[in-house]
Structure 1
Amino acid sequence: MLGHAARQPQTPEEAVLERVPNPNPGARYCVRFTVPEFTSLCPMTGQPDFAHLVIDYVPRDWLVESKSLKLYLTSFRNHGAFHEACTVGIAQRLVAELQPEWLRIGGYWYPRGGIPIDVFFQTAEPPGGVWIPPQDVPGYRGRG
C-alpha cells in the first residue's frame, strides 16, 4: 500500500496488514506505535468508544508497514466490539502477521458510564538487553 492510494477497509477482517523485511535483522530493538485517537463502537449500544493505544514489539524478520497498520486500526471505527476484544485482537493479529520476538499492547480506554477500562496484553516477559521504555500513559483522573 505504501506509495499508492488505498481504500479504507470497512472491517478489521477486511483490512490487509502488510509487512516489510526488518532492515536490521542482527539488532535487537523495540518499535513503538502510539495511537492516541483509536475509535471503535460499543457492540451493545453502537456508541463510540475511544482509546489511547500503545503497541511495542521487538521484531525478528518483519516490521509492520505503518500505512497498512493505520488503515487496519481505522477499520475499527464502524466495528462493534468490547474493549478487551479490540485490544487483544489487535495484538493477536500483529503476532500472527509479524511473528515478533515479543509484543505488548496497552489499551487505555476513556470512560463510559464513569468507568475507564484499561486492557493490557503481552506475549511473554520482556526480552533482556532491549530498551523497552514504560508506556507512561496516566490513569484516568477526571477533572480532579
Structure 2
Amino acid sequence: MSTTLQPANQQGLDIRSTPREEMNLYPLDTFPYEFSGKEIKINFEIPEFTCICPFSDFPDFATIRLEYVPQKRCVELKSLKLYINSFRNVKVFHEHVINMILEDFVSACDPLRVEIEGDFNVRGNIKTTIRASYRKSGVRSQESEVSKST
C-alpha cells in the first residue's frame, strides 16, 4: 500500500502544484535513427526553460541540458521546443520537473542512455541544480567504458 507523503509546510504556505493529468504538455515527436547500432551522443542546451513555483506563483527559470544516446528513435527538435515551452504555466517543483522530462523523454525515444540537468536561476539566494539519468537495462555505463580504455 502506497501513501502520498505530504510536504512539511511549516510556514503555512499555500502549495498548489499542477496535477500531472492537467499539465497539457505538448507531445514529443520522434523519427527513426537510421544508424541503429552506431552510438552517437546528442546534446541539447535549452536556456529559456520556465515553470511556476507552487509556493509563490512566481516564474522559475532554468537552463535544461539534455544528452542522450539514441537506440532506434531521435527526438524531433520542434516538438522538444514546444514540449519544454509547455511547462511555462505549470506549477511544479524543480525536483519533479526534471524527473517528468526524463520520464517523458524515455517514453518517447527509448534511448540507450539519457542525462538531464536543470540549472535553475538563483532564487532567494539559493542556486539549485537537479540531475537525473536513465540507462537502458543491459547497457554498460560510460564510466565502465572509460575505465576499460585506460
Give distance in 1, aligned partners of 2:100 and 2:90: 12
Task: Figure out how many residues of one structure are paired with residues of the other and give that number.
Answer: 120
Give distance in 1, aligned partners of 2:77 and 2:143: 23
What is aligned with 2:52?
41
What is aligned with 1:55?
66
Residue-by-residue CA offset, 1:95-117 (whole Å, 9 max, x unaligned): 11111000000111111111011
What is aligned with 1:83?
94
TM-score normalized by structure 2? 0.74
- Cα RMSD for the two superposed structures: 1.8
- Preserved contact between residue 116 and residue 133 of structure 2 (Cα < 8 Å): yes
Quote how far apart the aligned CAs of 1:126 are.
2.9
Which 4+ residue blocks in structure 1 deviate beyond 4 angstroms? 127-130
Structure 1 residues without counterparts, runs of 5 or longer: 1-10, 131-144
Going by fraction, where is strand more abundant, 1 or 2? 2
SS in structure 1 of the partner of residue 117 of structure 2: strand
What is aligned with 2:142?
126
- Preserved contact between residue 55 and residue 104 of structure 1 (Cα < 8 Å): yes
Give distance in 2, aligned partners of 1:66 and 1:44: 32
Give distance in 1, aligned partners of 2:68 and 2:24: 22
Structure 2 residues without counterparts, runs of 5 or longer: 1-21, 136-140
Identity of aligned residues (%): 34
SS in structure 2 of the partner of residue 77 of structure 1: coil
